[in-house]
Amino acid sequence: MSTDDTDDELSLPKEVLRTVTPGVKGKRDPDMDVIGWGILLGMLVLLVPLLPFIIIVVVFTKLLDLLSRLRGE
């Protein structure tokens, strides 16, 4: 490339490139749908039993924050 080239700026392409592969259209994929539901159910089975412990930790930290603010006043 020469140094006096003034076309270094970004520009839009002058023609559209045609591809060999056809465009992809949305379609249902029941196999992946089953996998997605399975992952959701697996997560629910794991997380629902832990929910009481998560609530206890959140309430405990809120109480500690409240007590530290009351003690600091």
3-state secondary structure at position 40: helix
| Helix, strand, coil % over all residues of the chain, rounded to 5 | 55, 0, 45
Extents of the domains making up the chain:
30-72
d(CA 13, CA 19): 15
**What global pTM score does this model have?**
0.45
Distance CA 17, CA 12 (A): 12
Distance in angstroms (rounded) separating the CA atoms of residues 54 and 48: 10
Distance in angstroms (rounded) separating the CA atoms of residues 54 and 4: 66
Q: What is the pLDDT along the chain (73 residues), one digit of tens a residue?
A: 555 555 566 777 778 777 778 777 778 888 889 999 999 999 999 999 999 999 999 999 999 999 999 988 6
Helix/strand/coil for 46: helix
Q: In the prediction, which pLDDT does 29 show?
A: 83
Determine the pLDDT at residue 15: 80
